[in-house]
């Protein structure tokens, strides 16, 4: 490029003009390549991803975007969270949630499956299909789960809890078994009374400070994934 520009200085006006026109597409191509370096991360999830009950800028996606940028990463995090969505709902909208620019997929689904006590076998099948599509497209994936409750019985809980490590191993993707793990880390324990200040009044969704704690825990895992 430098040699071409030096050569242009020695050419006649007409030749310089012709050469300039020839260089324009190359300059646009270089500019486009630089813009393409921004990593697009799609966060596919439910209300925890969507930012339920929080003001604009306080939800999981904008706080994660801010954390990653503050840590020197050139990323764009896309909010593909839908409140109330199950693993089946996430699978049904996966194709139009991803774009040719998507590089990384965060899969944070299963919370509504466990709240409704749905068949863990169906949850496993849906997540398996999501990961199959993602890995076939060459995407990096962070699979984020939630621990199953005990009120459906120990067998149900064991079957549900096994979904995330099993599928992560099967597809060779990164995994965090508990979306809410950052709350316990920030609060210094799992006692509900200790964690309550980080939760909204419904006791299900984190407040802004709770999301900050979650992002502080998940952010390094995503950073490591991007650096791998």
User: What are the structural domains, with CATH classification, of the chain?
Assistant: 2-31 (no CATH), 38-227 (3.40.50.1110)
Q: In 3D, which of 156, 143, 135, 165 has the Cα closest to residue 222?
A: 143
Strands 39-45 and 102-108: parallel
Who contacts 150 (Cβ-Cβ below 8 Å, separation ≥6)? 157
Phi and psi of 213, rounded to 5°?
Answer: -65, -40
- Whole-number pLDDT of residue 196: 97
- Whole-number pLDDT of residue 29: 46
- Whole-number pLDDT of residue 160: 98
| The two three-digit tokens of residue 20, written as one number | 């300039």
Is the four-CA dihedral 194, 200, 205, 209 of positive or negative sign?
negative
- Report CA dihedral (142, 187, 205, 43) to the nearest 10 degrees: -20
Who contacts 179 (Cβ-Cβ below 8 Å, separation ≥6)? 48, 108, 111, 144, 145, 146, 214, 218
- Whole-number pLDDT of residue 15: 47
Structure-token match 């689904």, residue found:
109
Alpha-carbon distance of 81 to 227, in angstroms, equals 25
List the chain residues with pLDDT less than 70.
Answer: 1-36
139 Rama class: left (phi>0) / alpha (psi -120 to 50) / beta = beta
Please answer whether residues 73 and 140 qualify as being in contact, where contact means their C-beta atoms are separated by less than 8 angstroms.
Answer: no
CB count in 10 Å sphere of residue 125: 15
pLDDT in tens, 53-112: 999 999 999 999 999 999 999 999 999 999 999 999 999 999 999 999 999 999 999 999
- Whole-number pLDDT of residue 28: 46
Q: Which residues are catalytic?
A: 47, 202, 205
Beta strands in 28-108 (DSSP E): 39-45, 75-81, 102-108
- Whole-number pLDDT of residue 37: 86
């Amino acid at each position: 490029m430098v040699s071409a520009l030096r050569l242009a200085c020695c050419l006649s006006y007409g030749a310089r003009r012709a050469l300039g026109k020839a260089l324009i597409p190359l300059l646009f191509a270089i500019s486009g390549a630089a813009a393409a370096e921004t990593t697009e991360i799609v966060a596919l999830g439910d209300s925890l991803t969507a930012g339920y009950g929080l003001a604009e800028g306080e939800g999981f996606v904008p706080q994660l975007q801010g954390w990653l940028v503050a840590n020197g990463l050139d990323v764009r995090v896309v909010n593909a969270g839908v409140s109330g969505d199950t693993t089946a709902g996430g699978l049904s909208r996966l194709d139009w949630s991803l774009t040719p620019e998507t590089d990384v997929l965060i899969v944070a689904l299963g919370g509504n499956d466990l709240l409704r006590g749905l068949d863990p076998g169906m949850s496993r099948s849906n997540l398996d299909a999501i990961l199959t599509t993602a890995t076939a497209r060459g995407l990096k994936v962070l699979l984020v789960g939630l621990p199953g409750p005990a009120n459906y019985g120990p067998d149900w809980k064991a079957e549900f809890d096994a979904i995330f490590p099993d599928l992560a191993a099967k597809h060779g993707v990164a995994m965090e078994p508990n979306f809410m793990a950052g709350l316990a880390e920030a609060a210094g324990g799992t006692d509900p009374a200790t964690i309550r200040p980080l939760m909204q009044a419904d006791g299900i969704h984190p407040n802004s400070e709770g999301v900050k704690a979650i992002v502080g825990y998940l952010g390094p895992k995503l950073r490591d994934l991007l650096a791998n």
